[in-house]
Amino acid sequence: MTKRVIQRTLSCKTLVAASVLLAVVAAPGLAQRGATGPEEHAKVKPINDLPNPYKTVRNWGELPNDREWGSVSGVHVDIDGKHIWAADRCGSNSCVGSDVDPIVKLDPSGKVVKSFGAGKIAWPHGMEVDSEGNVWVVDARGPRENELKEHPNATKVGHQVVKFSPNGDVLMVIGTPGEAGDPPTHLTEPNDVLVAPDGSIFVAETHSAQFMDDPGPNAKSRINKYAPDGTFIKSFGEWGYEDGQLRSPHALAMDSQGRLFVADRGNRRIQIFDQEGKHLDTWYQFSRISGLYIDENDTLYAIDSESDPNYNPGGWQKGLRIGSAKTGEVKYFIPAHESPRPSGMGGEGSMGEGVTVDKDGNIYAGEVGPIQGLTKFVPKKK
């Protein structure tokens, strides 16, 4: 009996146990579904040894005036399928007090053709480009105490999502800049934003919740849904380990069926929901994911910038896992590359946190850490 038949015929309670068992014995690359909680994650066999049909090109993209890249978490392909938008943390790991433009648009050769956003963003994180070419940037935290001492006027940034026109005009702000809180007026440490085909807006909160062992006042770990004009509709999800619960939903993507894929980074898994917040599935086989991208063919790009024995025990390695959003099969693995400073919170090597793909199949990853910048993965010629 195949796993698909088992999942259709067993009761819900039995299904979880069966799925866990199958996850343990499944061959590398096969979908491993239905497990719940950290104990079940530990039973999933790491997927680190699949083919890598890509060439790694480090230090892709040049900034004006010999400016150096800082941490880059947000990255997204433009609607033309060729240009790449990136959100640089102003040559460092924060834009508080900086007068440089954090949002840049690069042509296919890596040259900057447009930039904007100086003074409007504290800590750029997730990024989205909607069907009209507008650029949405998530500002994931407010200025810290030491930053405010140095820049006391930098109080109106952070805890917000900003919608920019392609030319950098501010069209919409979700949240109250500089203030953490709850919808409909506030956000707390938003991680990512996604605009659905019908214009609905989804925002994932909260960044620091992944480091909490117990829910605290800022462990929101929820998804907010808004109408196209920014009117708040609903929230779903809460802090926790069970299916439907989250520990810092770090990135969002949507497949051709309209299913919402959530990188539940603190729980080292992907969770899949419908657009009303109903939990549909849980996948562990793509590792501890920082960034997600799903292309028009339902190819899923899941990038892991943090895995090491501390943050993802069990032998998982940092890298980019590529597979199917339809079946959950993992097909390829791009390992981390050597760097003077590892990405994420430690471990070895560097791998991007944000990920996107152009129309020619080139992959772009934004790396976090001092002077990390962008990496490009180019398909190898067959």
172 within some domain: yes
Alpha carbon 319 to chain centroid, angstroms: 14
pLDDT of the residue at 379: 97
pLDDT for the residue 371: 61
Count other C-beta atoms under 10 Å from residue 277's C-beta: 16
pLDDT confidence of residue 215: 76
Identify the pLDDT of residue 121: 97
- For 127-147, what is each residue's pLDDT tens digit? 999 999 999 999 999 999 999
Show the domain range for 143. Answer: 46-379
Q: In what side-by-side order are the strands of the sheet with 269-273?
A: 249-254, 260-264, 269-273, 279-283
pLDDT for the residue 380: 94
Among 303, 304, 299, 294, which residue's Cα sits nearest to residue 324? Answer: 299
Centroid of chain to Cα 157 = 21
Residue 245, token pair as written in the block? 């619960």
Rounded-to-integer distance, Cα 305 and Cα 241, Å: 21
First and final C-alpha spacing in the chain:
37
Within-domain flag for 135: yes
* Residue 157 domain-assigned (yes or no): yes
Angle CA 328–332–333, to nearest 5:
110
CA distance 159 to 10: 44
β-sheet with 232-236: strand ranges across: 190-195, 201-205, 222-226, 232-236
User: What value does the CA radius of gyration of the chain take, rounded to a whole number of Å?
Assistant: 20
At 350-376, the pLDDT tens digits run 999 999 999 999 999 999 976 678 999
∠ at Cα 129 (298, 74), nearest 5°? 90
Q: Which residues pair with 187 in a beta bridge?
A: 180
Spans of the chain below 70 pLDDT? 1-43, 370-371, 382
- pLDDT score, position 96: 96
At residue 214, the pLDDT reads 75
Nearest CA-CA partner of 125 in 180, 168, 179, 162: 162
CATH number where 168 lies: 2.120.10.30
Structural domain contains residue 186: yes
Asked if the structure places residue 300 within a domain, the reply is yes
- Inside any domain, residue 293: yes
| Side chain identity at residue 71, one-letter code | S
Q: Which amino acid is it at 182? A: D
- Single-letter amino acid, residue 107: D
Q: Indicate whether 86 belongs to any domain.
A: yes
Q: What residues contact 365, with CB distance under 8 A and at least 6 apart?
A: 75, 291, 303, 320, 351, 352, 353, 354, 355, 374, 375, 376, 377
Q: What is the pLDDT of residue 348?
A: 81
What type of residue is 207?
Answer: H
Question: Is 242 a member of any domain?
Answer: yes
What's the token pair of residue 123? 């800590």
Split into its structural domains, the chain has a count of 1
